Structure 1
């Protein structure tokens, strides 16, 4: 089977980001021909040079389309449009694939796949990583009501056009189904994590980090992710300020993004915030194993309750319970499996109180750690998740042939 994957935001494990599709392609290319149409936008954020940019055997078709989490709306739109135009050309020039597999965000990438699939007479699969256009609209990036409706219409047509839809959370599946899309056309496939990297972490490496950053005797609260406008950074900063007098707790942040300058300023003012530079994929797991708990915060927006944050999966896989702030599937998940806690979004006092209560109960913390690690092995292993995606792609190709 020849699979053509369209994904504007390709990363590899040298980058400070999740590498879902790198992991998937690494396995798929052992049995199938895989062509990747992507941008060069994330090459510059490589921290190490330990991995090939794409797995060996994957055919790379790369477009020039700069991108950064620090970009404003206009620059992002320019990036999305630039990639869409180049990706369409590259996709049409490919030797005819058996199936197109398009990853959003943004919505322009599946739109390209839909047009190319129609012109080339092949099926396509729509992978929904975030709900667009709901996300940019609720974030205030698209305020014109006429344009909003046009984007919602485009979204629905894409769901109808796709041969199958893959979502990364149960709430995303419910949303797509609420638009009248048959549930048998939708597969929930968690973002997942890489247990080969989790299992590679040695205890002495974790202890070396503890010594390096003078964290002996400290309870570490970790945030590993984007310092973005959707990630409730002001809430975290207020909570940290309110807990500055408690020298037994240290907040460790690793990442970058829009709020980086404000976080750097805060780190100069309080003794309990340690800012680390972005880490390559393998090293992030060392920090999760160092931490007592991790934070998975987002703004108080309905669309964000459905998302599928990589840091949630990475944290549980390392046996690090998570505090989540959205009343969606993650809140239900940590309650059902007793592997974390919920604090209401954008309420810094409630978050600080939850952190204090959790860290004051070592037995509950230990139980949540074991529960999280166990359920993550069962549900979040990317090797198993990839098999599910492979089955979707094969079934779509078989159906198309019939």
Structure 2
């Protein structure tokens, strides 16, 4: 089967959409399928081209057996609604004609969070006369409204109409949470065409390992209880709560507890400036590192902090870093309500706290730092549960759904695995 996948992010970028897409496509190639990815030149989140890449109209490379086509786009940092919209729209404008320059696929998949990529996927599917699968990673534009990035209700209403149009036109929707499926069904989308394939972790990369002593010395973390946030520093993440918890710990003389921030994003500069204003020697900021190096930094952590702002929409989200924390055997301090908190509690992989409540986060940090046996149990529980979220198994599940969709629409000579016997 020939699969065409459209995504705005792809390695060497290291955000969640890039990692999920790569890891799924890699497994599909290993299963014997031809996979082509149309994406942009890597630049996320700083809006600067990665070394060795140029922003060309059309460029090809092969990555782990995946045919990767990179198209020109307007490049901007992950900040500022207008410039980011130009970035997204330019990718749509370039990716759509690029879909005509690759062998005719049996199916087209496009991934959110933003819908311009999904628009390109829908247009490509119409141009090539094949089914369109919408991989739903975020309820956009609801997430824009939730963080206050756009307040013009007429424009938001227009985006919502586009959103519903894409849902209805998709032959299949693959959502990353059950909450997303319920939300769409409540809005009149046929639940029979909505399937759930959660995020997960590459267990070959993320697994328990000893603390990296070289990094411990380099960062001056010897003798510290290290709690870390690893991921995008965006508007939705409310990382000011972590800084306030660090301030509380500092005021109490708990300099043995150190907070480590690794990543970039729209709020990174402001957070760094705020930490300097607050004079927090117990906080360290680090820039994004290559995917192959991330596990070294995870190994530094005694606890992983996961946090989103207190908004109803975010109760539907399951941050992908949760599964990486579990796979690494790192207890989670989880400040996200809803479906993801239920996973943490069900698997016994961490402790929850109320979003945007720095006092509760401070209490959880102190509790884990004092009770290393509890921390060990939570980490061990996470490792045992991680097998249920192995990216290889999840990729196989999504492939089965894609095969079924292509077969049902008469665009694949390969019968789905569950019908081949």
Q: What TM-score comes out, normalization by structure 2 length?
A: 0.88
| Equivalent residue, structure 2, for 1:319 | 329
Q: Deviations over 1:40-75 (max 9, x none)?
A: 1437565899xx975243222211124455420010
- Mark the runs of 5 or more structure 1 residues left unpaired by the alignment: none
Give the Cα separation in 2 of the matches to 1:188 and 1:241: 40
- Give the Cα separation in 2 of the matches to 1:148 and 1:164: 24
1:240 aligns with 2:246: yes
Residue 3 (structure 2) aligns with: 3
After superposing the two structures, state which structure 1 stretch, 311-320 or 345-354, moved more.
Answer: 345-354
The one of 87, 90, 97 aligned to 2:95:
87
Matches within 5 A, 1:30-179: 30=30, 31-42=32-43, 44=48, 46=50, 54-179=62-187
C-alpha separation in 1, matches of 2:144 and 2:299: 33
Counterparts of residues 2-401 of structure 1 (less than 5 Å): 2-12=2-12, 15=14, 19-30=19-30, 31-42=32-43, 44=48, 46=50, 54-199=62-207, 203=210, 206-244=212-250, 245-265=253-273, 268=276, 269-377=279-387, 379-401=388-410
Superposition deviation, residue 310 in structure 1: 2.4
1:89, CA displacement in angstroms? 1.0
Q: Give the secondary-structure state (helix, strand or coil) at the position aligned to 1:222.
A: strand
SS in structure 2 of the partner of residue 294 of structure 1: strand
How far residue 250 of structure 1 moved from its aligned partner, in angstroms, is: 1.0
Q: Distance in 1 between matches of 2:87 and 2:52?
A: 25
Specify the SS of the correspondent of 1:131: coil
CA deviations on 1:175-215 (whole Å, 9 max, x unpaired) are 2222222333122112211111124x753x62332233232
Task: Sort the Cα spacing of 1:129 and 1:58 in 2 relative to 1 into closer, same or farther, 3 A.
Answer: same
CA distance in 1, matches of 2:49, 2:166: 31
Which secondary structure state, in structure 1, belongs to the residue aligned with residue 227 of structure 2? strand
Q: Deviations over 1:339-372 (max 9, x none)?
A: 1121111122222122222322222211111111
Verify the 8 A CA contact 2:10 2:39 in the aligned structure 1: yes
Change (3 A) 1:181 1:15: closer
Query: Judging changes above 3 Å, is the alpha-carbon distance between structure 1 residues 376 and 156 closer, same or farther for their aligned structure 2 residues?
Result: same
Q: Secondary structure at the match of 1:330?
A: helix
SS of residue in 2 equivalent to 1:278: coil
Give the deviation of 1:106 after TM superposition: 1.1
CA distance in 1, matches of 2:76, 2:296: 25
Q: CA RMSD in A?
A: 2.3
- How many angstroms does 1:380 deviate by? 1.5
Q: Within 2, Cα distance between the matches of 1:122 and 1:381?
A: 30
Gaps of 5+ in 2: 54-59, 412-421
- 2: CA distance between counterparts of 1:89 and 1:179? 32
Q: Secondary structure at the match of 2:235?
A: coil
Asked if 1 retains the 8 angstrom alpha-carbon contact of 2:109 and 2:135, the reply is yes
Deviation at 1:231? 1.1
CA distance in 2, matches of 1:329, 1:53: 38
Q: Equivalents in 2 of 1:266, 1:47: separation in Å?
A: 30
The 1-side partners of 2:11 and 2:403 are apart by: 25
State how many pairs are aligned: 396
- The Cα offsets for residues 131-165 of structure 1, whole Å up to 9 and x where unpaired, read as 11111122223322222222222212211211111
Between the aligned partners of 2:394 and 2:199, the Cα distance in structure 1 is 8
